[in-house]
């Protein structure tokens, strides 16, 4: 059961990486310091003080950058691959006593995949917001993404089963729309 909860936590955190990259990483680091999370072997660096400080600084910069209308769209070009990497690391760090092949396969497919899908959908929403409002609504989109990331991080750590179910519902809703949008482009 502990393994399954680790997978649920990892996938929940990976999904939140799709909204903001550094919010879930900082949340993981803080939870580690509070004794609420433990990492798979080799991932304790996420809970180190230098990582906690770096994640905090990066989070503040990331949040601020998304409130600058022209910068937010440009930031998405680097945020998409970074979200996939962060989602992969978040899942891999939570999957415990398994073979490296299984850990990294799950992390890349589920963690990176969920983060990429959420980030890709976020890019589409921001693009539509920019096109329809000349970027005036982008701060509202950014606020919604930030709220989703903070809330998702907290729920993933505190109630991982609920977080996993929320991710399944969101993915079930997003996936058909995402591929429909891509096929129409």
Q: Tens digits of per-residue pLDDT, 116-133?
A: 999 998 998 988 988 999
Both tokens of residue 124? Answer: 């589409």
Question: Is 147 exposed, middle or buried, given 0-12, 13-18 or 19+ CB atoms closer than 10 A?
Answer: exposed
Domain range for 60 is: 2-184
| Mean pLDDT along residues 47-73 | 93
Do residues 19 and 148 lie in contact, with contact meaning Cβ atoms separated by under 8 Å?
A: yes
**pLDDT value at 161 more than 70:** yes
Average pLDDT of every residue of the chain:
92
Overall number of domains in the chain: 1
Predicted confidence band of residue 2 (pLDDT cuts 50, 70, 90): confident
Confidence (pTM): 0.90
Phi/psi of residue 67, nearest 5 degrees? -95, 5
pLDDT of residue 185: 65
Percentage with pLDDT > 90 across the chain = 70
- Concatenated DSSP letters for 121-158? HHHHHHHHHHHHHTTTTHHHHHHHHHHHHHHHHHHHHH
Q: Of all residues in the chain, what percent are helix, strand and coil, respectively (each to 5)?
A: 85, 0, 15
Both tokens of residue 70? Answer: 């022209």
Conformation bin of residue 98: beta by default, left when phi > 0, alpha when psi is -120 to 50: beta
pLDDT of residue 104: 96
| Mean pLDDT along residues 80-87 | 97
**pLDDT value at 88 more than 90:** yes
Look at residues 78, 73, 95 and name the one whose alpha carbon lies nearest to residue 14: 95
pLDDT of residue 73: 77
Conformation bin of residue 48: beta by default, left when phi > 0, alpha when psi is -120 to 50: beta
The residue ranking higher by pLDDT, 86 or 96, is 86
In the chain, at which residue ranges do the beta strands (DSSP E only) sit? none
Percentage with pLDDT > 70 across the chain = 98
pLDDT of residue 81: 96
**pLDDT value at 183 more than 90:** no
Angle between helices 49-65 and 22-33 (to 10 degrees): 150
Q: Tens digits of per-residue pLDDT, 130-147?
A: 899 988 999 999 999 999
């Amino acid at each position: 059961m502990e393994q399954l909860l680790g997978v649920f936590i990892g996938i929940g955190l990976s999904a939140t990486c799709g909204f903001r990259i550094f919010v879930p990483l900082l949340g993981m680091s803080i939870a580690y310091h509070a004794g609420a999370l433990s990492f798979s072997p080799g991932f304790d660096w996420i809970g180190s003080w230098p990582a906690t400080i770096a994640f905090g600084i990066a989070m503040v910069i990331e949040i601020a950058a998304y409130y600058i209308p022209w910068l937010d769209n440009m930031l998405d070009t680097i945020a998409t691959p970074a979200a996939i990497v962060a989602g992969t690391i978040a899942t891999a760090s939570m999957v415990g006593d398994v073979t490296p092949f299984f850990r990294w396969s799950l992390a890349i497919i589920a963690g990176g995949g969920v983060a990429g899908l959420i980030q890709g959908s976020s890019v589409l929403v921001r693009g539509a917001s920019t096109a329809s409002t000349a970027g005036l609504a982008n701060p509202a989109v950014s606020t919604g993404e930030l709220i989703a990331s903070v809330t998702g991080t907290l729920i993933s750590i505190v109630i991982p089963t609920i977080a996993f179910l929320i991710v399944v519902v969101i993915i079930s809703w997003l996936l058909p729309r995402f591929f429909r949008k891509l096929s129409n482009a």
